[in-house]
Chains A and B, each alone.
Chain A
Amino acid sequence: MKRFSLTSVLLASALALGVTTTAYADAGDSPVLKRIQDKKVVNIGHRETSIPFSYMDSNGKPVGYSIDICMKIVEGIRNELGNQDIAVKFVPVTGQTRIALMANGTIDLECGSTTNNLTRQKQVSYLPTTFITGTKIATRKNSGIKNVNDLKGKTLGVSTGTTNEKVLKAYIEKNKLDTKITQFKDHSQGWLAIETGRIDAYGSDDVLLYGLISKSKNSNDYTVVGQFLSFDPYAIMVPRNDSTFQRLGTSVIANLMSSGEIDGIYKKWFEPGPTDINMPMSETLKMAFKIQALPN
């Protein structure tokens, strides 16, 4: 066994030396790595209010679960390029700007709470799934709403343009619930509307709902109810057409998963996490981490 691995290492190094003499400490055929090597900086796109994935702490510094994973990828980039001096620059992005900024090369990685889907893959590529959530609704405990069907004749708030809006609208139409839908620009305005009694329930990804509740003044008054209406795997976004860079990111994340390091990062942000969100890791996510822990 020992001898075998020694041979393979020798063989691999011989191949590496022979075929691509500069494979180590080089950007290779990756335009993104080349850009990072030239400018000596990795530009990370981050969200400002996606708690606890990517948000600003009290010092105005971007922190969160996705940011921690991205910092591991930055380490991977530094090792790949053999240059420990590569700096990190944080660029704030929103749901509307993330694609544009990635397409025009402003950001190299987007570390937020972005759902991976096939339509979006026409524009960008994704690293392995790092979180799994889905659409649910939050409501006041005394509202009498126990699941989505109880929304009959009630008012539901959603954030404009989200995948949640799409599935909730479809569900309400299909089941003829006669629910009035009010749209909001972002989660904070939607939450303000539920607090001021303008709406009876607010629909979003369950993890974001737990985050909103944990931040609200009377967090004991609210609860998340209902079955999952959609399946939203979150993943870190990388530019398309750069399989070398994508593979580098994938290998970093796969290693985090196989070494179990990702469990520690998860614990730090979710159990209970700095914002008291208190979401133990779901069985689905545990399984996803196992499956995505590709061997080296």
Chain B
Amino acid sequence: MSSTGPERYRHQPGDPRPPDGERGSKLLSPLRAEGGKSVAIAVVSTVVFFIVLSLIVVNSPGWAEVKLAFFSRSQFKVSFPEIARAFLVNVKLFLISEVLILAFALVIAVMRSLPGPVFFPIRMLAVIYTDLFRGIPTILVIYLLGFGVPALGIEGIPNSRFFWGVVSLVLVYSAYVAEVYRAGIESVHGSQIAAARSLGLSRGQSMRFVILPQAVRRVIPPLLNDFIGLQKDTVLVSLIGLVEAFRTAGIDSAATFNFTPYVALAVVYVVITVPMTRFVDALVAKDRRRRQAGNAL
């Protein structure tokens, strides 16, 4: 049994993926271990703590201004439905990009795994692509493509902002996802390839039926992490003028000099991304347990 998992990544600022290491929530487990009395103490202490904290916040000088600017109830009521509707544009951006990324990144990863000297130029192309688009800030790619290409005025080239938004996100995220796939491909033990080839399967057939199904299964958690990052990055497309949730919040905010619309958008994001992150963490933990059990056999 091989114990080599997908390549571990080092966390860098701005990387949408969370840092490596223990990621399961350890908030509640000590309580569960200690039983009823400690649960009661935790509840009382939590209630007291938050009452004190909110009293301090509410009685701080300037709280009235903060509340008005960020947490205006009336503004929230007006903005939230608009922003939620505009968020559908982000969802559309995300869904279309995600499907394209999954396919395109797989092509890049397979290109990079082609063996032999004949395929050197193809491998090189894949390496240059992943290096380049992992190195350039997403916002630059969006600007260059979203403003730059339509400005050329070449006939037949679409000038839809939505289109160039999708293209930019696909280019940037495919570079990351291709690396995730590649780590997965490399984590499948060489003996699997030997077994497949020894049965007369061609290189392509071995890849398709034996290597990729195992590789993709192993990288589902990191893939999901990348897609949480992608969801958040869809707001960047607003900067080339696409009217989506962030832009809508900006318009609302500028009209009233109030920041509550941005808070409303933040709420939308939190509601969606926090459960997804928890789900991924649970998957990772389950995967780790399964792998440890496998090694123990």
A and B: real partners? no
